[in-house]
Structure 1
Amino acid sequence: MSHTLHDAAVAEQCRRSFYRFFQEFWETIEAVDLQLNWHMEYLCGQLQEVYELWAAKQAQPNMLVNVPPGTSKSTTITQLFPAWLWLQQPSIRVISSSHAAPLAISHSVKTRLCLRSPKFQRLFPGHIEFQDDQDGKTDYRTTALGQRYSTSTGTGGAIGNHADFILIDDPLDPQAGATEAGLKAAEAHLKTLTTRKTDKARTVTILVMQRLHEQDPAGLWLASGRPLRHICLPGELTRDAAGKLGQQVRPAWLREEYEEGLLDPVRLPRSVLVDLATALGSYGYAGQVQQLPAPDEGGILKKAWFRSMSWGTFMETVTGADKAVWHGDADTAYTDNQQNDPSALLVSCYLGQTLYVRYAGEMWLELPQLKKRLPQLLAEHRAATGQSKLYVEPKASGKSVVQELRSLTQLNVVEAPTPDGDKRSRVNTSAPFIEAGRVVLLEGAWNEALVSQAASFPAAAHDDILDCLTQAIRRHSAPVHHGPGVYQTFKPLT
């Protein structure tokens, strides 16, 4: 076959297949050799399907991709995919974004590097012409009125620009972690970009990121209940608490593609994963490699540390169970908006240096409803007796609850001691008590919510139940001085 015929054949293959284009044009933007793995072909196929549905003028859901670092996610989605889109239609408009402007610019520059490469110009002569006066690093356009515009989290977004495809690549910095300010900035940025669609039904937003928090942008999308084209590929298959293997893989059938439990045995062999686990720590590895906001087994607090028993077993085997005095710990908030922090209540008693938890739950209520609901829950769980106390965290809303409940009810409402340190330090202080098996949950539907919230800290969406638990532990485990050099570590509450 002549050189000209060969070029024509390759060009046609690249037009028809994004995966073929990906393989052929990798060398135009990457200095290292391409090492193919099955997930690349799958991801390219999904992206091509997204384009074909758009070209057919069909509505479709947004696309969420959760994959580890070192899997060529940015090269595939944010750098070469826009180039292939212009190969299909030079009039397509693309907005891309990342957590930092230099990174967003780098992605944009690599797309242009591919399009301006001698190879692209040889295979597709004259197909794409750039506007001379619109050819910057962050904003360049074709003479067919196509555009590739770059922005970043925390900037003004893409005001004045609209897109057929919106590509969001790591809106949070994985190295910096998920701070409250970062989460809010990323959420606001995504909301801004959703207003930049040329067609509300057809324009597709593709979000690619590693999981960092239950309320990171991926978590918000998953919690919304809206349809998603979701691809989730952890670095390795592991078993969850129920013993099920690779439950976070999406679509689930892709588990069959893993070799010896590994996503990419060549670039991410087990030795590399071990090094990553050491370098990133348990939370970093869970989020960036395993696509879990928190480690399966738990972070600071492990799921296995929490014991449970039935009410019958408690009554039959625990000394003093029939005479137990149950107390409440509350963390209050005034809102019925489930996007905000809820109020939480925990009911417990302390017997034989063990904290038994009878109930724990959250509620999103305004103050009038909260004042009614708290006494009801306390009465349901035997914590409204003359000996029972309700300890309320002494923040602004808590002080109001204390005053209101004292005036309206016969509950023994008191302000809990002001906690020392931040939440992480309080959890760290409580960890030895929990690890020693001193927290026992009486079996109930609420058990899973408490354990999940505790094990996910500090990456949980809310931590109000955990606040109540650490408040109860802090009160029960306060050291008591009994003379020179003599301390009782745990103080039974009467």
Structure 2
Amino acid sequence: MNSKVNTKLLEMQLERELCEKEHLFFTRRFFLPRMGFKFSVNWHHEYIADKIDEVIAGKVKNLVINVPPGSGKTELLTNLIARGIARNARSRFLYLSFSQSLVEDVSATARNIVKSEDFQNLWPVKISTSTDAKSSWKTTVDGYDAGHVYSASMGEQVTGRRAGTLANEGFTGAIILDDPLKPEDAFSQTARRKAKSDTPIILIMQRLHVEDPTNFVLTGNVPGEWEQISIPAL
């Protein structure tokens, strides 16, 4: 009996370590129970997931990902939020996009992953009862509100919201910009939304024209070091 219990505990420990270490492993692990079928992995998923791991490790400061629709980008970013909470329950994320329904879906899906039995068995993170909505929810640590996830459509006021936290070193959240339409919408307030200077920004979008947010970033209009990966077609 004890050997079975010890084996189960070791398996859970290994699974937890792999989830915290590898973004694609985490994504696949929590996709299956949520969707009822396996996440079909293509080479570009591995490429993007590896870069997300580098962002979490602090090797990539800010990241631009250019991919076409249907690439699974939103799935990978949704799991970044849940995985960030798993690694540090104090993590704080801002998720911004052009579509209010999209940002609510992403935020709600990440919240549902965190609330799931599979997640809770590995990381017993508590969701705050003070704020638990589709677009905005918080985690608690030692009975106090600590981490948060806030999603909003571009142009919406995000006053008082910050990504990242000064309370911990290392990765403590990110600003995620998903398919912004205009550079001014994407970056007018972004720099002021960082709790600390090394909080990363991830911009992920399809390129539609030259004067787009990607160009705005890569021509030096947004402070910080940026790395770009471009996948024009799949």
In the alignment, what sits opposite 1:71? 71
The 1:191–1:30 alpha-carbon spacing in structure 2 relative to 1, beyond 3 Å, is: farther
Superposed CA offset, 1:228-286 (max 9, x none):
11110111xxxxxxxxxxxxxxxxxxxxxxxxxxx4xxxxxxxxxxxxxxxxxxxxxxx
Q: 1:79-98 maps to which residues of 2 (within 5 A)?
A: 79-98=78-97
Q: 1:59-458 maps to which residues of 2 (within 5 A)?
A: 61-77=61-77, 79-124=78-123, 126=124, 128-144=125-141, 145-156=146-157, 158-164=158-164, 165-172=174-181, 183=182, 186-200=183-197, 202-224=198-220, 227-235=225-233, 263=234
Between 1 and 2, higher relative CO (CA 8 Å, sep ≥ 6) is seen in 2
Which secondary structure state, in structure 2, belongs to the residue aligned with residue 13 of structure 1? helix
Superposed CA offset, 1:432-460 (max 9, x none):
xxxxxxxxxxxxxxxxxxxxxxxxxxxxx
- Matched residue type, 2:175: I
Partners of 2:226 and 2:35 lie apart in 1 by 31
For residue 4 of structure 1, report the CA deviation from its aligned partner: 4.1
The 1:64–1:189 alpha-carbon spacing in structure 2 relative to 1, beyond 3 Å, is: closer
Partners of 1:112 and 1:52 lie apart in 2 by 23
- Matched residue type, 1:209: M
CA contact (8 A) 2:55 2:62 kept: no
Superposed CA offset, 1:379-432 (max 9, x none):
xxxxxxxxxxxxxxxxxxxxxxxxxxxxxxxxxxxxxxxxxxxxxxxxxxxxxx
Within the alignment, does 1:7 sit opposite 2:12 as a pair? yes
TM-score (norm 1): 0.41
CA contact (8 A) 1:28 1:114 kept: no
For residue 190 of structure 1, report the CA deviation from its aligned partner: 1.9
TM-score (norm 2): 0.84
Q: 1:20-39 maps to which residues of 2 (within 5 A)?
A: 20-39=25-44
In the alignment, what sits opposite 1:417? none
Which secondary structure state, in structure 1, belongs to the residue aligned with residue 90 of structure 2? coil
How many residues are aligned here? 214
The 1:160–1:28 alpha-carbon spacing in structure 2 relative to 1, beyond 3 Å, is: farther
CA contact (8 A) 2:65 2:229 kept: yes
Question: What do you get for the CA RMSD once the two structures are aligned?
Answer: 2.0
Partners of 1:91 and 1:112 lie apart in 2 by 14
Partners of 1:28 and 1:146 lie apart in 2 by 25
CA contact (8 A) 2:177 2:186 kept: no
- Matched residue type, 1:168: L
Partners of 2:32 and 2:140 lie apart in 1 by 26
Q: Where in structure 2 are there 5+ consecutive unaligned residues?
A: 165-173
CA contact (8 A) 2:115 2:127 kept: no
Within the alignment, does 1:45 sit opposite 2:43 as a pair? no
Partners of 1:62 and 1:80 lie apart in 2 by 18
CA contact (8 A) 1:94 1:149 kept: yes
The 1:214–1:32 alpha-carbon spacing in structure 2 relative to 1, beyond 3 Å, is: farther
Superposed CA offset, 1:44-89 (max 9, x none):
12111111218xxxxx532100011111111002x00011111111
CA contact (8 A) 1:28 1:117 kept: no
Partners of 2:199 and 2:116 lie apart in 1 by 28
Superposed CA offset, 1:141-167 (max 9, x none):
1113011001111322x1111112100
For residue 32 of structure 1, report the CA deviation from its aligned partner: 4.7
